[in-house]
Structure 1
Amino acid sequence: MAGRIRDEDVALVRERSKVDEVVGEYVTLKRAGGASLKGLCPFHDEKSPSFNVNAARGYWHCFGCGEGGDVISFIIKMDHLSFAEAVEKLAHRSGVQLRYEESGTAPNRQKGERTRLVEAHAEAEKFYQAQLATDQAKTGRDFLTERGFDAQAAASFGVGYSPQGWDGLITHLRAKGFQDREILTAGLAVEGQRGLYDRFRGRLMWPIRDLAGDTVGFGARKLYDDDQGPKYLNTPETPIYKKSQVLYGLDVAKRDVARSRQAVVVEGYTDVMACHLAGVTTAVATCGTAFGSE
Structure 2
Amino acid sequence: MAGLIKTEDVALVKERSSLEDVVREHVTLRSAGPGSLKGLCPFHDEKTPSFNIRPAVGAWHCFGCGEGGDVISFVQKVEHLSFTEAVERLAAKLGMELTYDESTGGRPRGEGIGRRARLIEAHRVAAEFYATALVNLPDARAGRDFLRERGFDRRAAEQFGIGFAPRAGEELSRHLRDKGFTDDEITTGGLAGRGSRGLYDRFRGRLVWPIRDITGDVVGFGARRIFDDDRIEAKYLNTSETPIYKKSQVLYGLDLSKKAISRDRQAVVVEGYTDVMACHLSGIETAVATCGTAFGVEHIKTLRRIMRDEADQAPARVVFTFDGDAAGQKAAMRAFGEDQRWASQSYVAVAASGQDPCELRQSGGEPAVRALIEDAVPMFEFAVRTTVGRFDLHSVEGRVQALRAAAPIVASIRDRSLRPEYTRTVAGWLGVEVEQVSAEVARAGRTAGQHRGRPRQSEVRD
TM-score by length of 1: 0.87
User: Using the alignment, how far apart are the partners of 1:78 and 1:258 within structure 2?
Assistant: 19
Q: Tell me by how many angstroms 1:224 deviates.
A: 0.5
Q: Which residue of 1 aligns with 2:118?
A: 116
Instruction: Give the C-alpha shift of residue 2 in structure 1.
Output: 4.1
Higher helix share: 2
- Counterpart position of 1:191: 194
2 CA distance for matches of 1:291 and 1:3?
41
Structure label with greater radius of gyration: 2
Please say if 1:131 is aligned against 2:133: yes
- From 246, 253, 263, the equivalent of 1:249 is 253
Q: Tell me the distance in 2 between the aligned counterparts of 1:121 and 1:268.
A: 21
Calculate the TM-score normalised by the size of structure 2. 0.57
1:86 is matched by which residue type in structure 2?
A
Q: What's the CA shift for 1:12?
A: 2.4
The Cα shift of 1:217 comes to: 0.8
Does residue 218 in structure 1 map to residue 221 in structure 2?
A: yes
For structure 2, the 5+ residue unaligned runs are 299-462
Separation in 2, partners of 1:64, 1:239: 29
- The percentage of counterpart residues that share the same residue type is 61
- Give how far 1:206 is off: 1.0
**Structure 1 position 172 matched with structure 2 position 175:** yes
Greater shift, 147-156 or 69-78, is seen at 69-78
1:7 aligned partner: 7
What is the CA–CA distance in structure 1 between the aligned matches of 2:106 and 2:74, rounded to whole Å? Answer: 31
Distance 1:63 1:104 in 2: 39
Aligned to 2:20: 20
In proportion to residue count, which structure has more strand?
Answer: 1
**Equivalent in the alignment of 1:38:** 37
Shift of 1:226: 0.7
| Residues 1:265 and 2:269 aligned together | yes
Structure with higher RCO (Cα < 8 A, 6+ apart): 1
Which residue of structure 2 aligns with residue 91 of structure 1?
A: 91
User: Is 1:231 the equivalent of 2:235?
Assistant: yes
Q: Distance in 1 between the 2:74 and 2:260 partners?
A: 20
Kept in 2, the 8 Å contact 1:27–1:258? The answer is no
**Aligned residue identity for 2:56:** A
In the superposition, relative to structure 1, how do residues 231 and 68 fare at CA in structure 2: closer, same or farther (>3 Å)? same
* Aligned match of 2:303: none
Helix, strand or coil: the match of 1:206? strand
Aligned length: 292
